[in-house]
Every structure is written in C-alpha cells, then in structure tokens.
Chains A and B, each alone.
Chain A
Amino acid sequence: MDFQTAVFFFLSAILIFAALRVITARNPVYAALHLMLAFFTTGGLWLMLQAEFLAIALIVVYVGAVMVLFLFVVMMLDINMDRIREGFWNYLPLGAVLGLLMVLEMGLVLGSKYFQVPISEAVVPSGVSNTKEIGALLVTDYVFPFELAAVILLVGMIAAVVLTFRGVKKSKISNPNQQVFVKAKDRMRVLQMPVEKD
C-alpha cells in the first residue's frame, strides 16, 4: 500500500465515522460539529483528486460560512431529543426505502460509463491551475447557466429581505413629548414563572 492509498483510507475512515455521528449524535451541536468534520475530510479527499480549487472552496463556503450560521441557530434551539425520537420505528420502513432508493440511484449514476475516467487521463499535468481552468469554463462554455444561477440566488436573497423587512426607521431622534407620558406598564411586563431547577 503506497502513501496515497494509506491517506485515502485514513480520510475515508474519518469521513464515514463523522457522517455516522451526524445522524446518531444525541446533541444537535455535536451533530453539526461532526458535519463540519465530514466537510473538512471531504475537502481532503478532493485535494487527493488534484481538485484543489473545489476542495478549498468547499471548506471556505461550507465550513467557514454555512456551518457557522448553522451552529449559530442550533445552539439557540432548545431541542427535546426524547420527543424527536418518538415514533422512530414507525418511520424506519419509509426511511429505509428512501435510503435504498438513493443508494441505487447513486450507484447507477456513478457506475455509468460517463463517470469512468481511465487513470492515465485523470492525472493533471503540472503547470495547469484548475482555478484558472474553472474560471475560464465558467465565463465561456457555461456562462448562461452561471448567470442563471446568479439570478436565482438574487431572487432568493430579495425574497428573504422582503419576508423579514419591517419598514424603514427614518429617524432615531427621541421625542420628549412621548417620553414624558410613558407609563411603567407600557414598558414592563411582570411574568410569573416557576423556578428552574437543574
């Protein structure tokens, strides 16, 4: 076994372990952390395929930005795991069927002749930067799908802004007239709640 194969098995083992932990971890924060580990090891595997741009882009986008926001949300959720685990056995058959279907589809796609690249052709000659190659392809052959993706993202962004927009606050100057007539019950609400015990 040469060094590359050893690295491949090492990374794959970590990837499979991390992916399993994502779905088995009881704590959603741990699940998110293992997902981050899974992305990172996938980046390592892509580096071994000499796709350094894609590998680093994966880490920048998913580990550096998406997962941060994910963790941000997951940390603030108060998730009751026992309630989520209820009905696990009821949903298992449906989930198993869907999972098998996905494995089958993936096998068909990956096994097709379009995905078979001979090892002799898969080696990138030195001096070729795949960042430049991808960039050149994006603005020549694939410029239309690329622009289309950009427009779709823009629509999504505007939709998110419209959904959360609450109107412009024109001025931050305080009005003394309103301040004078303010009453305690306008500003403060006294809640009765049971004492929290851990």
Chain B
Amino acid sequence: MDALMNFGQGIFGGVWPAVWTLIKIVLIVAPLMLGVAYLTYFERKVIGYMQQRIGPNRVGPWGLIQPIADGLKLLLKEIIVPSGSSKAVFIIAPMLAIAPALAAWAVIPFTDSLVLANIDASLLYILAITSMGVYGIILSGWASNSKYAFLGAMRSAAQMVSYEIAMGFALITVLMVAGSLNLVEIVNGQSRGQFADMGLGFLSWNWLPLLPMFLVYLISGTAELNRAPFDIAEGESEIVAGFHVEYSGMAFALFFLAEYANMILIAALTSILFLGGWLSPVGFLPDGILWMFAKMSFVLLLFLWFRATFPRYRYDLLMRLGWKVFLPLCFFWVIIVGVWMITPLNIWN
C-alpha cells in the first residue's frame, strides 16, 4: 500500500491526493453499477421462482449475460424528446435522479477503515443528499408535458415528502442511542452490550431494542424507493409508467439505475443503522466486510420478496399509514427511548 502511495506521489506530485480520491470513487461506483446490473437479474430470477416461472435463461449460461444485453439495448436506443416538453429540464431530470443516488455513497463505511469520507455528520449528509432524489422524479414528470407523467410526479412528491419524516425520526432514535452522527461510530456502538459480551452480538444490534423503529425504517425505505407495494408513482395499471413514461433509451436507463442504486443504498443504511454493519453476529467469527455484504443482500432480498408478495397499496391508505400511524409511533418512541436512556435500565452507555 505504501509502495503504491509513493509510486503515485512520484508520478502525479501535488495532485496525487485528488487522483487517489478519484481512484477510490471509481472503486466504489464501478462495483455499484455492476451490483445494480446483477440486482435486476437477481430480481427477475427470484420473483420468477416465487411465481413458479424460470426467469431469464436465454442469454449466456443461466441467463447471466442478460443484464449486459439489456444495458446494450438501452444504450443503442434513440432518446425521444416529446414535443412541447421543456427540453433542458427533460434532459437534466434523469441526471438529478442518479446524482444523489451515487453521491450518498461517499460516506457509507464498508468496514471501520474502508470508507471514502469519514466525516462527523455523515448521517445528516445522507439525509440531505437522499432528500434531493425526489427532484429527478418531479421534474421529469413536469418536463414531459404528459398527463400520466405529471400525475406520477405529483403522487411521488407527496409520498416521498410524507415518508421522509418517518424515516428521519427513525434515524433520530438511532443517533440518540449512538450519541453520534458518524456512521462508523454508530456501528461501533452496536458492538457493545450485555449480549455482545456473552458472544451473541446480533442481540446487541439496534434492531432488537429499537424494533418498532427498525420496521418503520424498512417500510418507509420501501416507500421512499417507490418500490412495490408503494409504487403508486409508477402505477403501470393506472398511469402507464408514471413519471418516466416519456423517457426512452439511456435517459430511461438512468432512472432505472438510480432506483436500483438507491435500493442498494437503503439496504446498506439499514445494515449499518440497525443490523450492525460489518460486525459478526456471533463472538467466535471475525468481523469483516463479508458480513456487511451478507446483510445488504438480505435486505435486498426482502425488497424483492415484498414486491412478489404484496398488492399495490391504495393511495389514501398510503397517506394514512405515513401520517397517522408512523408519525405518532415515531414521536412516541423517541420519548420512550429518551426516558429509557435516563433511567438505570439504560443499556447504551
């Protein structure tokens, strides 16, 4: 590692730190994009088997080349800009969708040392960056000059703003018990506790003491992602495909990439905040990045499972769940955790 640093210093001189950061960004984004491609394959296979179909199996062995073929097809297609659309915004909207989905990865720790930017306020940064993802959807809906796209955008704006609040409150309880906004600190905080000392680390993770918030976070996360059963923004049986109905080719692919990159992001965040990140569930196995990937895969599988299982939620029920069920529950639980923490029963010290 030192040899590599010295070699880079020798070639690039003063700009080497910038170049090294760029290399690290590529090392995060390239596997992420590959992960996105194979998540789509995984989704089609898993849902296929759940519905007693086979799924893609024609391109390459077991259909493994299928995502590459899909990507190539989208690259070669023409991007049609609808007449009467607002051209500049129509082009910018997909970029606004994918940029926050990638930028948020800057502060995600994979192990306690493997993180691009270990900043103090990383949880706040995540909250700020992911809250901007909604612009891609709203603007694409408005710029398309299409009724269906506009309806999809309106639905999605209302939905994402509503569920962001519940999600924020779930994060507040986590940072209350961790006493830090730093994601590495939050994971390290979960390695301490009575059960962790007994070698049963997985019972010390946040999911157990904060179980209601874990469920709220997982469900709000699904709603934030516009994933089934909360995919009313797409609602293909009502409004064709919602906000991206007018998009084709690579512009459509960017929305697709953003949705799946966000899925992996929420899976990573759920693992870090509630499932102990890279910590090993039992004392006799070492901690490591593989645990992180295993937990992320589990949460991703949950998202696919939801999609295969639940029918689409009705719009008024969705709003009711966000505002009348989750929000009071969150308020209540913040108070409970606050009181819990000042009593002698406090387990987070």
Residues of A within 8 A of B (CB): 27, 29, 33, 36, 52-53, 56-57, 59-60, 63-65, 68-69, 71-72, 75-76, 129, 131, 198
Contacts and interface: CB of A to CB of B under 8 A. Distances in A.
Contact of A56 (B86, B121, B135): B121
Interface string B18-49: 00000000000000000000000000000000
Nearest to A36: B135
Contacts of A57: 124
20 contacts: A29-B142, A33-B89, A36-B135, A52-B121, A52-B124, A56-B124, A60-B127, A60-B131, A63-B131, A64-B128, A64-B131, A65-B161, A65-B164, A68-B134, A68-B138, A72-B158, A75-B138, A129-B121, A131-B120, A198-B84
Given A56-B128, A60-B127, A131-B181, A68 B121 contact: no
B157 interface: yes
By Cβ-Cβ distance, the 7 closest A-B pairs, closest first, are A64-B131, A59-B128, A56-B124, A60-B128, A56-B128, A75-B142, A72-B157
A56 B142 contact: no
A131 B86 CA distance: 40
Contacts of A56: 121, 124-125, 127-128
A42 to B, nearest CB: 13
A100 B161 CA distance: 38
B154 A72 contact: yes
A42 B284 CA distance: 50
A185 to B, nearest CB: 27
Contacts of A64: 127-128, 131-132, 134, 164
A64 B181 CA distance: 19
A53 B154 contact: no
B250 to A, nearest CB: 23
Contacts of A52: 119-121, 124
Given A64-B127, A71-B135, A76-B154, 9 more contacts: A29-B86, A52-B120, A60-B127, A64-B164, A68-B157, A69-B157, A72-B154, A75-B150, A131-B124
Contacts of A27: 86
A68 B137 CA distance: 11
A68 B119 CA distance: 27
B183 to A, nearest CB: 14
Nearest to A75: B142
Contacts of A131: 120-121, 124, 181
Contacts of A72: 138, 154, 157-158
Contacts of B139: 33, 71
A60 B161 CA distance: 11
Contacts of A36: 135
Contact of A129 (B120, B127, B131): B120
A65 to B, nearest CB: 6
A131 B185 CA distance: 15
Contacts of A69: 157, 161
Contact of A65 (B84, B131, B138, B181): B131
A150 B187 CA distance: 32
Nearest to B138: A71
A63 B121 contact: no
A29 B164 CA distance: 23
Most buried by A among B121, B134, B150: B121
Contacts of B124: 52-53, 56-57, 60, 131
Contacts of A65: 131, 161, 164
A36 B142 CA distance: 16
Most buried by B among A72, A76, A198: A72
Contact of B121 (A53, A76, A198): A53
Interface string B64-80: 00000000000000000
Contacts of A129: 120-121, 181
Most buried by A among B128, B135, B157: B128
Contacts of B84: 198
B34 to A, nearest CB: 29
Interface string B145-172: 0000010011001101100100000000
A14 to B, nearest CB: 15
B349 to A, nearest CB: 17
A56 B161 CA distance: 17
Interface in B91-136: 119-121, 124-125, 127-128, 131-132, 134-135
A36 B136 CA distance: 13
Contacts of B121: 52-53, 56, 129, 131
